[in-house]
Amino acid sequence: MPFGTHRDFKGVWIRKEIWLSKDLSLQEKALFVEIQSLDNERGCFASNKHFAEFLGVSDRQVRTYLNRLEEKGYIRITIKNRNQRVIRARGGYRRSSDEGLLDVEPQVDEETKQKIEEAKREITKRFGSL
């Protein structure tokens, strides 16, 4: 069976900012998109071996790419229970659970949050529940 055919996989969509980025190599882009495709509600748990086979590169090269993606702010790598690595796409590059579309996680300050809540209350008062 060819590599990756065991997944329920329909294809990939690459954001314009990623595809056209001069900041990322082609291999980093491919690795990032693979991480995105595997990043579910709990995160991506794929091993360096998986990524190495997927990209056709060495384990050492995968570590380099992962470090670069983390340094550039595209991913966050955390270690849980001393030996379980979790990789997450960061910010607006995270997938939602709906068809793999991307979530945008805007940065909103407290004052703006309060104004939004006030507006919601006013709308609810005038027109009923949202």
pLDDT in tens, 38-47: 888 888 999 9
Number of domains making up the chain: 1
Domain span holding position 45: 16-105
Residue 80 is part of a domain; what is its CATH number?
Answer: 1.10.10.10
Residues 123 and 130: beta-carbon distance below 8 Å: yes
Inside any domain, residue 35? yes
Examine residue 6 and state whether it is found in any structural domain, yes or no.
no
Distance between CA atoms of residues 30 and 18, nearest Å: 10
List, for residues 92-102, the tens digit of each pLDDT value. Answer: 665 554 444 44
Residue 66 domain-assigned?
Answer: yes
- The answer to pTM > 0.85 is no
